[in-house]
Structure 1
Amino acid sequence: MVTYVVRRLIAAAFILLGASFLVYNLTAISGDPLEEFRASSAPNAAQLMQARSELLDLGTPAPIRYFKWLGGAAQCLVPFAARCDLGKSISGQPITEALGIALVQTLTLVTAATVLAILMGIALGIVTALRQYSALDYGVTFMAFLFFSLPIFWVAVLLKEYGAIGFNNFLREPEIPWYVAAGIGAVVGLAASMAVGGEPKRRAIIGGGGFAFVTALLILASVTRWFRYPGLGLAVILLAGVGLAFAVAVLVAGLNNRRALYSGLAAVAVGLVAYFPVQGLLNLATPLMILILGILTVLVGIGVGWAFGGYDRGQNMRVGGIMAFLVGGMIVLDRFLQAWPAYFDNGKIRGRPIATIGAQTPNLEGDFWIRGIDSFTHLILPTVALILVSLASYTRFTRSSMLEVMNMDYIRTARAKGVSERAVVMRHAFRNALIPIATVVAFDIGALIGGAVITETVFGVRGMGFMFLDGIFHVDPNPVMGVFLCVAVTAMAFNLMADLAYSALDPRVRVK
């Protein structure tokens, strides 16, 4: 394996050199960086032209300039040298500094969208494969391709109109008429009845229960003005935690392993006991503190699973750790919701919290929770837009891969031996179905680092895509090469990781 990795790295280095040479020279000869000064009638136009020529070293031919840039970029490979030099932009800003700012903006914008799209797409792909040619399969396929075919800029505009302007207007007087609540409940009930399948009586019971629950929940939220003064509290965390404990235990271990279920329920109980004591600590929260508390929470859940013992402690520990993480997440979410009224009434927000442009509210003051809500409200619309347009590919890839695997001989053999359906789907089929999906995800990670150019433009986020387009527009190769270098290295690294993951997912694949 070491020989294989070394060969791949050497090949990647030559590919990167050739591609970077082409990109640099194509950018340099694509236009005239002095054009705006040649048509200017300003008295200092000549001085400005001279200054920009010296800044971009235009007196040197483009191929020679590339090798100068390469010499500075090579310093980035020297450990602990702290001399990484990718040149300066047309405004005089060092590219390394600009890349740091743009990369944070891009990762903040698209990381959550990509992760959620992958998780939701894989889950929907598995369900539709298991329910092939059902109403659910046709419905998910139709909606996925509908959003996939829509232009991202149009989706973004619709989200601005109805997800921001309309919802902000609703938050002024957050009242939901009973007929609107009943309509939403009917849609949810219909979707639930399609998802569960089975006998008509069973589908009717599930659909009716979903309709009644969602309708009552929305009416209760309207009466209590929950949208203005939201929160979860112990009751919601308890009910959601118990439901999640059963769901996680079914997926990870199956209900036959009662100790795994008890581990999840015990993790929920520990979270409820710690709810009030931890509130004072959360008032002083920082990102590092939340990270440390998250790690400790998962370790406590793993310890709870280990304490229950049994024939498979590994399953207990996985269920306990997952449930501890989920309950901890609900406690943190509840603390964010407690800070919502203060954020809503802030003078910088002016009662319109869902933002349509930028990555944060300028000059907003507040603690960790206020700033966290501000970041979330700025990210929610672009995140939803990216999820809607990228969900279809993951859904269809997973569905087709699962259908192919489910028809294999070893799946029929596992069922004939009496293996539970959960184990057949999750342990045998899903693991092998992940191989083609790993390739798709590896390519998407490179696109993620490159930035969602259209989405960044519509929502006014100055990320990697904006930096790349700005360099092209001003015929400035340095920012273009900075973005190219990040994207190329990331894409090659994740493709190598995908190749190595094949052998972990399928023992029949060997890296040689």
Structure 2
Amino acid sequence: MVTYIVRRLITAAFILLGASFVVYILTAISGDPLGELRALNTANRDQLIEARIDLLDLNTPAPIRYFKWLGGAAQCLVPFAGTCDLGRNVTGQPVTEALGLALVQTLSLVTAATVLAILIGVALGIVTALRQYSTLDYGVTFMAFLFFSLPIFWAAVLLKEYGAIGFNDFLRNPDIPWYTAAGIGIVAGLVLAVAAGGDLKRRLRLGAVGFGFITALLIVASVTRWFTTPGLGIVVILLAGVGLAFAITVLVSGLQNKKALYSGLTAVAIGIVMYFPIQGLLNVATPLMIFILAVVAVLVGVGVGWLWGGYDRGQGMRVGGITAFLVGGLIVLDRFMQAWPSYFNNGKIRGRPIATIGASTPNLEGDYWVTTLDSFTHLILPTIALILISLASYTRFTRSSMLEVMNMDYIRTARAKGATERSVVMRHAFRNALIPIATVVAFDIGALIGGAVITERVFSVQGMGTLFFDGLGHVDPNPVMGVFICTAVTALVFNLIADLAYSALDPRVRVK
């Protein structure tokens, strides 16, 4: 395997050299970098032109400039030397500095969208494959392709109009009339009835339960003014934690493994016991502290699973660790909700928390919870836009892959041997269905690191896509090459990871 990886890295280096030369030359000859300055009527026009010629070294032929740029880029291979030089853009800013700022913006924008799109898309793909040609299958397929066919700029504008402006107007007086709550409840009940399996009687019963629950929940939220002073509280966290413990046990081991279920429920109990003592610590939270607490929560859950033991101790450890992590997430979410009134009433927010442009509110002051809430509210709309557009590919790839795998002989053999349906789907089918999905994920991650150009432009996020677009607009190869190198390296690395993942997912594949 080491020989294979080394050979792939050497091949990738030659690919990067050839591709970077082509991109640099095409960018350099794509227009006139002095065109905007020649159109000026100012007295210092000639001085500005001379300054840009010196800054971009335009008196040197483009191929020679590329090799000069390559010499500076090669210094980036020396770790911790601080000698990385990717040139300067037309404003004189070092490209490495601009690239660092843009990369942070892009990663904050696309990371959550990519992870959620993969999780939701894969889950929907599995469900629709198991319910092939059902109403749920047709409904998910229709909605997935509908969102996929929408122009991203149009979807983004609709989200800004109704998801930000409309919701901010609603927060001025968050009263929900009973007939509105009932209408939303009817829609939710219909969705639940369609998604549920079984006969018509069971569907109607579940739809009625969904209608009653959603309607009552909205009325209670309106009466208690929950939208302006939200919170979960220890009771909701307890109920949600118990439900998560059962759900995770079903997915990981099945309810027949009682020790695994007890591990999850014990993790929930520990989280509830620690709810009040940990509040003082959360009041002075930092990102590092939250990360450490998450690691501790997982370790405690894994330890609980190990102590419960059982015939498969590994399943109990996984259930305990995942449940503890999610319960900890609920506690952190509750703390964010406690900080919502401070953020909502902040003078910079003025009661309109859902932002439509930028990555943060300028000059906003507050503690960790207020500033993090500000980042979240700025990311909500672009994240939803990216999820809606990219959801269809993951859903359809997972569905087709699962349908192909479910018809294999070894799946019929597993069922004939008496394996449970959970074991057949999660252990035998899903693992093999992940192979083509790994390829799609590898390509998508490489593309997303390059920046969601249209989304960034609509929401005024100064990310990698905007940096690339501005470089092309000014016929400036340096920022274009910086974005290209980051994107190309990421794509090559994740494609190598996908190849290695094949051998882990399918024992018939060997990396040689």
Question: TM-score scaled by structure 1?
Answer: 0.99
- Distance between the aligned counterparts of 2:378 and 2:41, measured in 1? 41
For 2:35 and 2:468, locate their aligned partners in 1 and report how far apart those are by CA, in whole Å: 19
Please name the residue that 2:296 is paired with: 296
- Correspondence 1:176 to 2:139: no
Alignment of 1:260 onto 2:272: no
Percent of pairs with identical residues: 79
Q: Secondary structure at the match of 2:456?
A: helix
The within-5 A match list for 1:31-430 is: 31-430=31-430
The equivalent residue for 2:498 is 498
Greater mean deviation of Cα atoms: 180-189 or 295-304: 180-189
Deviation by residue 1:70-124 (Cα, 9 ceiling, x = unmatched)? 0000001113322111111110111111111000000001110010000000000
Any idea what SS the aligned residue of 2:278 has?
helix
Quick one: which amino acid aligns to residue 232 of structure 2? L
AA aligned opposite 1:164: A
One-letter amino acid matched to 1:369? W
Offset of 1:186 from its aligned partner?
A: 1.5
Instruction: Quote the Cα distance in structure 2 between the aligned partners of 1:36 and 1:380.
Output: 37
Q: CA deviation at 1:501?
A: 0.1
Deviation at 1:180, TM superposition (A): 1.3
In 2, Cα distance between equivalents of 1:190 and 1:331: 32
What is the SS of the residue equivalent to 1:339? Answer: helix
- Secondary structure, counterpart of 1:23 in structure 2: helix
Output the CA distance in 1 between the equivalents of 2:106 and 2:95: 16
Q: CA deviation at 1:196?
A: 2.1
Are 1:480 and 2:485 an aligned pair?
no
Report how far residue 448 of structure 1 moved: 1.3
Q: Distance in 2 between matches of 1:51 and 1:82?
A: 27
Taking the aligned partners of 1:205 and 1:114, their CA distance within structure 2 comes to 36
Aligned to 2:16: 16
Question: How far is 1:7 from its partner?
Answer: 1.3
Structure 1 residues 246-273: Cα deviation after superposition (integer angstroms, max 9, x where no partner): 1000000100001111110110000000
Which whole-Å CA distance do the structure 1 matches of 2:490 and 2:9 have between them?
13
Q: CA deviation at 1:361?
A: 0.3
Which amino acid is 2:503 matched to? Answer: S
Q: How far does residue 504 in structure 1 lie from its aligned partner after superposition? A: 0.3
> Which is further off, 375-384 or 6-15?
6-15
Q: CA deviation at 1:139?
A: 0.3
Aligned length: 512
Q: Give the counterpart letter for 2:244 in structure 1.
A: L
- Gaps spanning 5+ residues in structure 2: where? none
The offset of 1:358, in angstroms, is 0.3
Q: AA paired with 2:204? A: A
SS in 2 for 1:351: coil
Cα deviations by residue, 1:188-210 (Å, 9 ceiling, x for unpaired) = 22222222211222222211111
C-alpha distance in 2 between matches for 1:59 and 1:377:
47
Distance 1:126 1:297 in 2: 29
**Offset at 1:454?**
0.2
Structure 2: how far apart are the matches of 1:79 and 1:362?
34
**Could you tell me how far apart the structure 1 residues matched to 2:71 and 2:511 are?**
34
Q: Which amino acid aligns with 1:140?
A: V
Q: Secondary structure at the match of 2:509?
A: coil
In structure 2, distance between residues paired with 1:373 and 1:418: 50
Partners of 1:32 and 1:306 in 2: CA distance: 67
TM superposition shift of 1:39: 2.1
1:4 aligns with 2:4: yes
Q: What residue identity is the alignment partner of 2:477?
A: P
Match of 1:507 in 2: 507
Letter in 1 for 2:96: T
Give the aligned CA root-mean-square deviation in angstroms.
0.7
Residue 211 (structure 1) shift: 1.1
**C-alpha distance after superposition, 1:49-79 (max 9, x if no partner):** 1111000000100000000000000001113
Give, as a single letter, the amino acid of the residue that structure 2 aligns with 1:40: L
The separation in 2 between residues aligned to 1:429 and 1:317, in whole angstroms, is 23
Give the residue type in structure 2 aligned to 1:105. Q
Q: Which residue of 2 aligns with 1:450?
A: 450
Q: Which runs of no fewer than 5 residues in structure 1 stay unpaired?
A: none
Distance 1:97 1:198 in 2: 58
Equivalent position amino acid for 1:174 in 2:
P
Q: Deviation string for 1:210-233 (max 9, x for gaps)?
A: 111111111110110100100000
Whole-Å Cα distance in 2 between the matches of residues 318 and 196 of structure 1?
28
Question: Match for 1:247: what amino acid?
Answer: A
* Residue 35 of structure 1: how far off its partner (Å): 1.1
Decide which moves more: 175-184 or 48-57: 175-184
Q: Which runs of 4 or more aligned residues in structure 1 lie more than 2 Å from their structure 2 counterparts after TM superposition?
A: none
Q: Which residue of 2 aligns with 1:465?
A: 465
Cα deviations across residues 271-299 of structure 1 (Å, max 9, x unaligned)?
A: 00000000000000000000011100110
Letter in 2 for 1:227: F
Shift of 1:10: 1.0
2:265 and 2:201 map into 1 onto residues whose CA distance is 31
